[in-house]
Amino acid sequence: MGMPKSARKNSNAVSKADPYAGAAARKGKAANNIFKMNTDIGQHILKNPGVAQAIVDKADLKQSDIVLEVGPGTGNLTTRILEKAKRVIAVEQDPRMAAELTKRFQSTPAAKRLELTLGDVIKMPQLPYFDVCISNTPYQISSPLTFKLLATSPSPRTCILMFQREFAMRLFAKPGDKLYSRLSVNAQMWAKVDHVMKVGKNNFNPPPQVESNVVRLTPKNPRPQISYDEWDGLLRIAFVRKNRVLRSGFLGTSTVMDMLEANYRTFCAQNDILLDDAPLEEAALEVMDVDDRAEDDAEWDGIMDVDDGDDVPDFFREEAARKAKKFQGNPNRKKKGKVAELVRSKVVKVLEVDTELAEKRARLCDEGDFLKLLYAFNQEGIHFS
């Protein structure tokens, strides 16, 4: 069962990216009587039976429930879940832990109700059906796991998740808060977020150097009638740099505009809308180039070096590498045409006229602002997925 990641052994320093390093270096050897904890994949075992029982109790399990447990470890939570649920699907990345879990339940009545999957839950193309998710979450997968659960359809009834405290606080953050991010907006759009309990570091073996919180995500039912991919695609762009005004986030980043142009072409093709693909005249091209250069120098540096690094999806990182390779040594990039100009005019209209949000920063926008943006963009045929 995992908790947050540790990497730099032989160091007592605790960085934002690696808050568990010091504790793991000192405690790793004594972490388990059977084998050393693999802190590279976030193994910090929850050893307090009272906390384990409280987590399962908060899930309010029914005898008919199928429970997805992420990172079961040696089975301290699994045992209690099996007492109340119909079946547990446990996803474990470490083969040693999986072997221990199998051994623990071997020849017991509960063995037939435990389905063990060896692998990385984030890389699973589709999660199996489950009613409830319970996870002592490895730090390094906190964000992707949350997004994966929020996007799951049909939605689970509830998710009881343990996170490093700062990450948990992001789930509750409101516009203007320092920790407000794409994660905050997504979590609060798709689910009701409740704080369940604080869990001190001494409840783990080896103990990490940061505190943890347990939160409950209760997906909204009925589900909001918008496309998750569209909504999340908009937020990805808006929060690339949450302190930039939205005008710069969209119009000042050529890769974003290229993506929106490609999506618009797809929309037109699907709806039999003819496009004028002729190149722009030089005068119009110069105007567009001036606008693009205003922010272009830092566009991909911004996407890969944002305030909320763990919220940055792989899409942007992969796109950054692809774009850098494609345009390497070509300062002029591709020549823009009339379709690019049309898409740019639509974006300007949405930001400056339809929503009047061009000069507002993402960190100050609330759910209503983002819904207004999504609706206005979609009305113009601009899509984000």
Q: Which tokens belong to 188?
A: 């609060």
Say which residues have a Cβ less than 8 Å from residue 60's Cβ, sequence separation at least 6. Answer: 158
CA 90, CA 92: separation in Å to the nearest integer?
Answer: 6
End-to-end CA, the chain: 34
Angle value at C-alpha 241, between 237 and 243, nearest 5 degrees: 125
CATH T-level assignment (fold) for domain 228-379: Helicase, Ruva Protein; domain 3 (1.10.8)
CA–CA distance, 208 with 4 (Å, rounded to integer): 8
What pLDDT is recorded for position 117? 96
pLDDT for 88 equals: 98
Instruction: Output Rg (C-alpha) for the chain, integer angstroms.
Output: 24
CB atoms within 10 A of CB 124: 12
Rama region for 379: left / alpha / beta (φ>0; ψ in -120 to 50; rest): alpha
CB-CB contact of 142 with 191 (8 Å) = no
How much is the pLDDT for 139? 84
Q: Indicate the DSSP class of residue 210.
A: S
State the number of CA atoms in the 13 A half-sphere of 382 facing the CB: 27
Contacts of 85 (CB under 8 A, 6+ apart): 61, 62, 63, 65, 66, 67, 113, 132
Task: List alpha helices for the chain, DSSP H.
Answer: 21-27, 49-58, 76-84, 95-105, 142-151, 165-172, 182-190, 228-238, 246-251, 254-270, 282-296, 299-304, 314-326, 338-348, 367-379
Exposure letters 37-75 (e unless 16+ CB within 10 A, then b): bbbebbbbbbbeeebbebbbebbebeeebbbbbbbbbbb
Q: What is the pLDDT of residues 187-225, one digit of tens each?
A: 999 999 999 999 999 998 888 888 999 999 999 999 999
In the prediction, which pLDDT does 326 show?
Answer: 53
Tally Cβ neighbours within 10 Å of residue 34. Answer: 11
Tell me 2's DSSP state: B
The low-confidence residues of the chain, meaning pLDDT below 50, are 1, 3-35, 39, 41, 283, 289-290, 292-316, 323, 327-333
The structural domains of the chain, with segments of one domain joined by +, span: 21-219, 228-379
CB 368 within 8 A of CB 347: no
The b/e string for 230-254 (b: 16+ C-beta within 10 A; e otherwise) is ebbbbbbbbbbbbebbbbbbbbbbb
- Confidence at residue 17, expressed as pLDDT on a 0 to 100 scale: 42
Which pair of structure tokens corresponds to residue 19?
């808050």
Q: Which fold has domain 21-219?
A: Rossmann fold (3.40.50)
pTM across the whole model = 0.74
